[in-house]
Amino acid sequence: MQDLAINDGAQPYASMAGKLDSRLLQALRVMGFETMTPVQHRVLTELPDWRSDCLVQAKTGTGKTLAFLLPALHCLLQDPRAPPRGQVAILIIAPTRELAQQIAKSCDQLTSQLAKPLECHIAVGGTARASAHSRFMKESPSILVATPGRLKDYLSEAPTAQKLSNIRTLVLDEADTMLETGFMADVKRILQLIPPKSTGWQGMCFSATVPPRVKDVVSVVLKPGYSSISTVDKNEAPTHERVPQYYVLMPSVADTFTTLASLLNHEIKTNAKIIVFGVTANMVALFAAVFSQRLTPLKVFEIHSRLNQGARTRTTAQFKEADAGILFASDVIGRGIDIPNVDLVIQIGLPSNGDQYVHRVGRTARAGNDGRAIIVLTEAESFFMKNNRHLPINPHPQTDAINAGRARYTDAVTQAMHGVDESTKQRAYSSFIGFFAGSGLMKPLRLDKPGLVQVANELAIKGMACPEPPPMEKKVIGKMGLKGVPGFNYASGNDSTGNSSYRPHGHPNGKTRDALSPGAGQGGRRGGVEKKRGGGRGGRGGGGRGERR
């Protein structure tokens, strides 16, 4: 492996005249790009050859997309032995639909100045497979941007795989995400289904972080002697130096919504653009439903995996174009997505790890702009800062004022909650329990199973203004590994013993209210990564262990 020296000197794209295809340079001018970012400059000037294999590490928001598109497109345009028309020459694999669409858009812009632009197709889940696949087969794609699951599906059909039999360049974008649990198997299977490395295709791995597990696939994607480029100083904090980062600790899970309302009141400026990350898709939907009811002067947007792809695409486009607004989001936009002019990123609840935290923070301070980041946790969740001392997270200077301001929003939040459909609250409650049960975070939070139900019921009754814990179906509770745990309000016809006549004690209609009694366990609020692959969506319970982003 060849290590290349760090050189962050920015240079104009004009300096690449005579080296980079003139039509790509013209497209860059049309796009308004005049100066290369450090990662773009280093890839274009330091690789031994633009067909060289490389592992590139650069922070989010630093222009990695153009850093791999420009050399790949140039080599394709200049190759006298380019694959025949209709054969995919450049295959790009990305972890999310939104990132894939963003890459494809950049590709179309870069090829817009060709006499006949190269066709760039997308293959992602959550869209109509039949129509996208039919277009792929009938037309003449030169570039394919795909998510792992849909690409594996395409490659399972011989006629489709034939269109990918002449690959010249394979790009893994956000390689660390791709190789996390849930994607590793798909990536390995894809590498078995495409032509072997011995056929000579170029491998390019791009990522913000390069953990050891990336090495598991590097030997398959990159040949020995590949170039390694990093624009990240090993001694530098893992998030952008222009992002002041703060934490706010709130006393109780019941204070989630009032604390956020108070925080936003302190942080909102004229024309502010804010992203608020929640832990589960259904919790994000509840945040959006509540805060769209005049709890903030800003327009509210929401994006998560429970929305269909059309709605997600529209929301992404609208928020990108908006001058101001609050986007409540799950991790479908947690990595790689370029949303301009985000002033503030707020995280409500525990990230799964430091890397997820870093990627979320990376949605702000992009393209030379400033930004701020705030994480809101309960006291019990404060271990996140202790376990990630390398992250420059400091106490919010207005924590006391923010917590004192919660009382001003109690009535408004309660009124807004009464305006939210009960099923929305039930799904949020269920997904909260499901992810906590499967997150592995109960031990550091000193939380047992009855305690988890207690915390969730506190969130529902005191935070969501539910008259009682939302009903849960027995089969959903069982899938969460919580069969027989006290404190649940079983849906009609279900109980912990399977007897439809069961009525818990302590409530006139037989539904339990003793879940908040002392001694049911202690701990924090929420946690856990939203698993890429998992169990079902929890039926009417709205989210078992495997709810996706």
Tally Cβ neighbours within 10 Å of residue 1.
12
Nearest-angstrom CA–CA distance, 533 and 545: 10
- Whether 2-230 and 245-409 share one fold: the answer is yes
More confident residue, 497 or 356: 356
Token pair for residue 182? 């849930």
Q: Is the Cβ–Cβ distance between 434 and 478 less than 8 Å? A: no
More confident residue, 319 or 352: 319
Q: Which of 485, 540, 489, 547 is nearest to 513 (CA)?
A: 489
pLDDT at position 545 is: 37
Q: Binning pLDDT at 50, 70 and 90, where does residue 211 land?
A: confident
Q: Rounded mean pLDDT of the chain?
A: 84
Question: Among 111-125, 166-180, 501-515, which is the least confidently predicted range?
Answer: 501-515
Residue 438 has pLDDT above 60, yes or no: yes
* Percent share of the chain, pLDDT over 90: 59
| CATH class of this structure's domain 2-230 | alpha beta
Instruction: Kindly write down the DSSP assignment for every residue of 54-81, as one continuous string.
Output: EEEE--TTS-HHHHHHHHHHHHHHH-TT
Q: Which residues are paired to 206 by β-bridges?
A: 56, 173
Q: Binning pLDDT at 50, 70 and 90, where does residue 511 land?
A: very low
Instruction: Kindly write down the DSSP assignment for every residue of 297-345, as one continuous string.
Output: SSPEEEE-TTS-HHHHHHHHHHHHH-SSEEEEE-GGGSSS---TT--EE
Residue range 357-362: average pLDDT? 84
Q: What is the pLDDT of residues 129-173, one digit of tens each?
A: 899 999 999 999 999 999 999 999 999 999 999 999 999 999 999
Helix (H) or strand (E) holding 123: strand 119-123
Q: Binning pLDDT at 50, 70 and 90, where does residue 298 land?
A: very high
pLDDT at position 435 is: 84
Instruction: Kindly write down the DSSP assignment for every residue of 237-269, as one continuous string.
Output: -SS-TT--EEEEEES-GGGHHHHHHHHHHHH--
**Judging by DSSP bridges, how do beta strands 344-348 and 325-329 pair with one another?**
unpaired
Residue range 265-291: average pLDDT? 91
Q: Binning pLDDT at 50, 70 and 90, where does residue 19 land?
A: very high
Q: What is the pLDDT of residues 173-184, one digit of tens each?
A: 988 777 664 677
Residue 450 has pLDDT above 70, yes or no: yes
Domain assignments of the chain as residue spans, ordered by start: 2-230, 245-409, 421-541
245-409 classified as CATH 3.40.50.10240:
no
More confident residue, 233 or 481: 481
Largest Cα–Cα separation, the chain: 82
Residue 430 has pLDDT above 90, yes or no: yes
* Percent share of the chain, pLDDT over 70: 83
Q: Binning pLDDT at 50, 70 and 90, where does residue 520 land?
A: very low
